Amino acid sequence: MLLRVLIFGKSGQVSRELSRLAWPEQMEVVQLARDACDFSDPTTIASAVERLAPDVVINAAAYTAVDRAESEPELAMTVNGDAPREMARVCDRVGAALLHISTDYVFDGSKPGAYVEGDETHPASIYGRTKEAGEAGIRAALARHVIVRTSWVFAGHGANFVKTMLRLGAERPELRVVADQHGAPTSARDIALALRDIVVARSEGRGAWGTFHFTSAEPTTWYGFARAILDGAGFVPVPKLSPIATAEYPTPAVRPANSVLDCTRIHREFGIPQPSWRVALSEVLAEINLGQPAARG
């Protein structure tokens, strides 16, 4: 029996990786770009889902400009809060399951240890509040959902910390990077692989619905991540890297001091282990240098 998978998003980091994956033969994958469905107008979602009649929907589209969201709260809420709720409602009507990507920013970062799925959310930024609203809307509208919270996403394409460090490393002899925010860099490729594995598992009756955490293993800081990027990029000479406190680099949006997520549940339910961000970083740097993605997956 053919299983139709509809992916919202085509140009984002995770959505591009989803398009690169090899999917099982019994799955037909349809991917919609922004011009086919505008999340700033959630009414366009229903017609797309009803027309394509998918069995599974993956929402890989989002408003991800964390700082800009502080000055565009209405747009951020429409895309991250209202659109996922409407998507869940139409999925419920047509009998489709929904996979949705969320974020560590739903937490304020004050917990001393790793966050588990059941911890109380308390976002400190507009972006985090809009993503929290999207989660709540999905839970209220659709039982057959999987929400995957992740953190510090990077890839060989798009706007992300790796690309920024490479650009600045080529322009400046010295860089100052925050060293008191802790989290796990997670590659878009690994997130895409996890989402595909969840689709396969649920189609076979394995796993569970609900909220899950998925990040790479070995938490670090932005400073530690930057160090690995610069060391792996082969700069000659290597730019000097200095650790600084968050207070020395103020931003419009408040970032969590602790973004570490406990990923025990996704491994228990789906058998998905935490990958190494160092391995993924090596692949991403090679992709940037060679202009082609790794063959993994």
As annotated, the active-site residues are: 127
In this structure, is the dihedral angle defined by the CA atoms of residues 124, 99, 141 and 36, taken in order, positive or negative?
positive
| Residues with Cβ within 8 Å of residue 47, at least 6 apart in sequence | none
Could you tell me where the DSSP H helices lie in the chain?
Answer: 13-20, 43-52, 73-77, 83-94, 126-141, 161-171, 188-203, 222-233, 264-270, 277-290
Q: How many CB atoms lie within 10 A of CB 210?
A: 13
Q: What does each C-alpha distance from 124 to 61, 105, 234, 248, 256 come to in angstroms?
A: 22, 8, 37, 19, 8
**Cα(135)–Cα(148) distance, rounded to whole angstroms?**
10
Q: What is the DSSP string of 202-263?
A: HHTT-S-SEEEE---BS-EEHHHHHHHHHHHHT-SSPPEEEEE-GGGS--SSPPPSB--B--
Q: Phi/psi of residue 180, each to 5°?
A: -120, 20
Q: Phi/psi of residue 31, each to 5°?
A: -120, 130
State which amino acid sits at residue 71: S
- Find where tokens 């809307």 sit: 137
The burial class, CB within 10 Å (0-12 / 13-18 / 19+), for 270 is buried
